[in-house]
Amino acid sequence: MDKIIEMNKRLCITSQADAEEYFGPALLLDEHTAVIMSCLVVVEWHIQLANFYELRFKDRTLLEIVEQAGWLPFLHRTGHASKNLVREFYASILRARDLEEPSMEVTVRNVQIIFSPDELSLFLGYCMGLHVDMASFIYQSVRAEALKTDAQISLPYGVLLTQFLHNLILPEGADEPRALPLGSINKTTLSKSMDECWPTHEMVGSISSWLAALELKVVSMDVELKKQVFEVQLALKGIATSAELVALTERVVLLEERMSDVWAILHLSDD
């Protein structure tokens, strides 16, 4: 619920600067459409809840909790994602009249449809007013992603939106590009995913240790440089001959070079 509220706040943009900070730089409609049509479409993995039967909360299994919350139609969704159909749907949101309304009328492949939390709830078989309103969350997520102008984003809910649009009798050609889920989330795939993530945690730990060591080294160098600058200042006060001045100048140049090396490594500016 907190995430939905936060997403609502982000969608209530009050200035062009705020909009560009969250969604990216403003684009012409055709440019924004081209960006969306080049984005990847996310294909959901369905979750085999029965595979996690031993997970219990207050003497209830995970499957029982999910069933009571009404999330099974979402978590058990299987099928393909029609990639171009999903992209065209996201692009149609750009042409909606008022994005701040709780629903929108869009046209996809010459078919006018209503996209709203109510329509999603009917399609998913949800009851509105649940503690966690999944339909509203999906609606807000889709709307937010459609407004982003970053070509590197991925468009979520590929399978769900394909089936939602099919349910509204939107046409799909037999030769259109489709994407299928790579598998399901079960004990095996979850364990494999955790194993793949573990080296990343180790790498982050190593980088943190390296940065801590680097910080100590920089502090040590800083102390040494300050010490040498102080010695140069003392020597400058007691200088007597031009030869001593030349030697002192060479020492100052060396100090400047060492300081420049430190700045270059740490990407620091002179100020």
Cβ–Cβ under 8 Å, residues 72 and 46: no
Q: What is the percentage of the chain residues whose pLDDT exceeds 90?
A: 30
Parse the chain into domains and list their residue ranges. Answer: 2-184, 199-266
Residues 8, 4: Cα–Cα separation, whole Å: 6
CA angle 262, 267, 270 (to 5 degrees): 75
The rounded distance, in Å, linking the Cα atoms of 191 and 210 is: 29
pTM above 0.75, yes or no: no
Residue 231 has pLDDT above 90, yes or no: no
DSSP codes, 38-107: TSEE--PPEE-GGGGTT-EETTEEHHHHHHHHT-HHHHT--S-EEHHHHHHHHHHHTT-S-TTSSSEEEE
Mean pLDDT lowest among 127-131, 133-137, 146-150, 204-208: 127-131
Amino acid found at 253? V
Q: Which of 33-47, 222-236, 252-266 has the lowest mean pLDDT?
A: 252-266
How much is the pLDDT for 16? 40
124-133 pLDDT, tens per residue?
A: 887 555 556 7
Of 162, 142, 183, 166, which Cα lies nearest the Cα of 84? Answer: 162
- Sign of dihedral through CA atoms 222, 227, 229, 230? positive
CA distance 62 to 38: 38
Q: CA-CA distance, 120 to 37, in Å (whole number)? A: 23
